Amino acid sequence: MEVSKAVSERKSIRSFLDKKVSNELIKELLHKSARSPSGGNLQPWKIYVINNESMKKFLHFQEKWTKPETPAYDIYPPKLKEPYRTSRFELGEKMYELLEIPREDKDGRIAQVMKNFRFFDAPCAFFCFVDRQMGPPQWSDLGMFLQTFMLLAKEAGLDTCAQEAWSMKHDSVSEFVQADQEDILFCGMCIGYQDETQKVNSLNSDRRPLQDWAKFL
Ligand SMILES: Cc1cc2nc3c(=O)[nH]c(=O)nc-3n(C[C@H](O)[C@H](O)[C@H](O)COP(=O)(O)O)c2cc1C
């Protein structure tokens, strides 16, 4: 698959088929993804894969977890500036319009958000952690790793959705995967085969025009 094709075809998938993904394939994709660049070659990513039995156990564990959790970090700045605020708002509105969940239907919208915590029914997933010692440069390295993984997954016929939502479940996820105390959870990654019959997967996110964010001097 051409890189351009993988880039244009990758999109966030929020409903998956009940179709297994082998650990061997995930291992191969992770191995290849580790060719991602990182400043000073630190390779700061720490990955925990859950699949098959561990996925069943994890979902069961999540259901039983009742302790309140402190979010690992602010997903967005508290006062998100323009144009970012509008981009975020438009994405949400586009998705809820597609799903026919009006703004007044607060429960409906919350129920959609909560699907994050079942990995949108993906059969396989991973969590990406990083040592708390690391700062913005190393967090950006995680992004490179994650995008490389998502493109390679596309090439392998798989679909994905990165999930910062899991930062709200830092404690329970850390306990389940037995993460090192020094590590912080950045995000989850749903992995599987998209359910093409589900409207949510027809969502196509917009991009701001190039002249708004690139200047040629
Ligand atoms: C690091 C990261 C975290 C994300 N977290 C979530 C999430 O928690 N839940 C979700 O539904 N989508 C999440 N997304 C998906 C974004 O909303 C999506 O990438 C963006 O709207 C662009 O759409 P596209 O991926 O389909 O191109 C995340 C994406 C990234 C890169």
From the CA of 143, give the closest atom in ligand 1. Answer: 1
CA distance 103 to 109: 8
Residue 130 contacts residue 138 (beta carbons within 8 Å): yes
CA of 217 to the centre of ligand 1 (A): 31
| Residue-wise pLDDT tens digits, 30-83 | 999 999 999 999 999 999 999 999 999 999 999 999 999 999 999 999 999 999
CA of 56 to the centre of ligand 1 (A): 24
**CA separation, residue 29 to residues 53, 122, 164 (Å):** 20, 17, 21
**Whose C-alpha lies nearest to ligand 1, atom 16?**
12
| Residue-wise pLDDT tens digits, 158-168 | 999 999 999 99
Using alpha carbons only, what angle is made at residue 63 by residues 60 and 68, rounded to the nearest 5 degrees? 135
Global pTM exceeds 0.75: yes
Is the beta carbon of 205 within 6 A of some atom in ligand 1?
Answer: yes
Q: From 164, 166, 191, give the residue whose CB has the most ligand 1 atoms within 8 Å, as the site to mutate.
A: 164
Q: First CA to last CA across the chain, in angstroms?
A: 34
Q: In order of start, what are the domains of the chain with their CATH numbers?
A: 3-73+117-203 (3.40.109.10)
CA of 131 to the centre of ligand 1 (A): 22
Q: Peptide bond before 83: cis, by omega within 30 degrees of 0?
A: yes
With CA atoms as reference, report the closest residue to 93 among 112, 121, 118, 117. 112
Report residue 106's pLDDT band, with 50, 70 and 90 as the boundaries: very high
Report residue 16's pLDDT band, with 50, 70 and 90 as the boundaries: very high
Angle at which helices 53-64 and 170-177 cross, to 10°: 140
CA distance 37 to 142: 10
